[in-house]
A = this chain, B = another copy of it.
Amino acid sequence: MTSSSVPAEAAVPVRIGSMESSSTTGGSTRREATRQKLYEAAVTLIAEQGFSATTVDEIAERAGVAKGTVYYNFASKSVLFEELLRHGVGLLTASLRDAAEQTAREGGSRVDALDAMVRAGLVFIDRYPAFTQLYVAELWRTNRAWQSTLMVVRQQAVAVVEGVLREGVEGGEFSDEIDVQLTAAALVGMVLVAALDWKSFQPERSLDDVHAALSRLLQGRVSGKG
């Protein structure tokens, strides 16, 4: 296991295949496609069963490759998982940032930015429900190998929300008594749980519908008559 006699081992450039095939420059070829298939297989299986209950054999089978191929492309089962995690949250973070920035560019308020981010979150969960499940299931675990990866990656996403809240407080749009960190976590939780519930128990509803419900809650338009 440790210190095997591995020769030169032409440095594999840890490329993370994008969840959607970007295929910008023709660099990838077969390898990239294989990685992609493995990500997709792993994400659904782990979302369904959890990391430990998912076997490498299953992942390989679902991806339509041999088991050895998994280990040709990834150092271990947990490395595969960590790269999956990093990539997925990277997409989410970028999406949230875009939403906030575009709102600012269009002259919207901070509440508008928050609302746009809620929508961006919903769009993400709508597109990658399995990834979201898997992420939530692992986030608050302790004593796990990828704990640090998870923390870093969580902070990236939450920081975007915190940033908008902080700007809002500084600009006087939000009360300066709000607790930025906790409020950000609560907002993330609101979207996360509502969306997972949507996907799990009312999948027929439209994104706009769900967004409208959360918007109302976000903007405190719950009390009082409609």
A residues whose Cβ falls under 8 Å from a Cβ of B: 13-14, 47-53, 111, 133, 136-144, 172-179, 181-183, 185-194, 196-198, 200-202, 209-210, 212-214, 216-217, 219-226
Min CB gap A54→B, angstroms: 9
Residues of B within 8 A of A196 (CB): 139-140
Tell whether, in the assembled complex, residue B143 and residue A175 are in contact, meaning their CB atoms are under 8 Å apart: no
Q: Is the interface of A mostly helix, strand, loop or mixed?
A: helix
**A186 touches which of B51, B178, B201, B213 (Cβ 8 Å):** B213
**Given A137-B140, A181-B197, A220-B223, 17 additional A-B pairs, CB 8 A:** A50-B50, A51-B53, A133-B141, A136-B140, A174-B222, A176-B226, A181-B202, A182-B198, A183-B213, A183-B216, A183-B222, A185-B197, A186-B194, A186-B214, A189-B190, A193-B193, A220-B220
Tell whether, in the assembled complex, residue A189 and residue B183 are in contact, meaning their CB atoms are under 8 Å apart: no
**A49 touches which of B141, B185, B216, B217 (Cβ 8 Å):** B141
Assembled-state Cα–Cα distance A193/B14 (Å): 24
